[in-house]
């Protein structure tokens, strides 16, 4: 998943983390400056579902606006990661075990 808070906020006219932080606090979600900075500029390691509800209410958005699926990053154990192989590049030679 890709965290898309900053773009979603910008689409709603919120350009600074402090603006969003104030709006969240007005709706009962008080976030420290450090955590707000992490939400704004990075991808959260964890986030409560209740907090996501408040963020969606404040931004007037859906959860799909904040969390963008990236199914191409999902591989099964033992599968080659084809997303990192350049198009047209020769595949590495298989290892022969005797």
Q: What is the pLDDT of residues 56-69, one digit of tens each?
A: 999 999 999 999 99
- Domain assignment present for 19: yes
For residues 1 and 67, give the distance between their C-alpha atoms in angstroms, rounded to a whole number.
6
- Domain assignment present for 8: yes
* 9: containing domain: 2-71
Query: pTM for the full model?
Result: 0.73
Q: What is the mean pLDDT of residues 73-94?
A: 65
Angle between helices 49-59 and 17-26 (to 10 degrees): 110
Is residue 39 scored above 60 in pLDDT? Answer: yes
Is residue 88 scored above 70 in pLDDT? Answer: no
DSSP 93: P
Q: What is the mean pLDDT of residues 7-31?
A: 96
CATH code for position 10: 1.10.260.40
The total number of structural domains in the chain stands at 1
DSSP 2: E
Is residue 27 scored above 70 in pLDDT? Answer: yes
- Domain assignment present for 66: yes
The contacts found for 7-14 with CB under 8 angstroms, 24 or more apart, are: 8/59, 8/61, 8/65, 8/66, 9/59, 11/65, 12/59, 12/60, 12/61, 14/59
């Amino acid at each position: 998943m890709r965290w898309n808070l900053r773009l979603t906020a910008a689409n709603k006219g919120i350009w600074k983390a402090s603006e969003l932080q104030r709006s969240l606090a007005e709706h009962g979600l008080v976030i420290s400056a450090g955590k707000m900075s992490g939400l704004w500029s990075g991808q959260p390691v964890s986030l409560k579902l209740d907090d996501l509800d408040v963020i969606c209410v404040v931004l007037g958005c859906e959860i799909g606006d904040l969390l963008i699926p990236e199914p191409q990053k999902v591989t099964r154990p033992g599968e080659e990661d084809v997303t990192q192989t350049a198009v047209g590049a020769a595949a590495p030679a298989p290892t022969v075990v005797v």
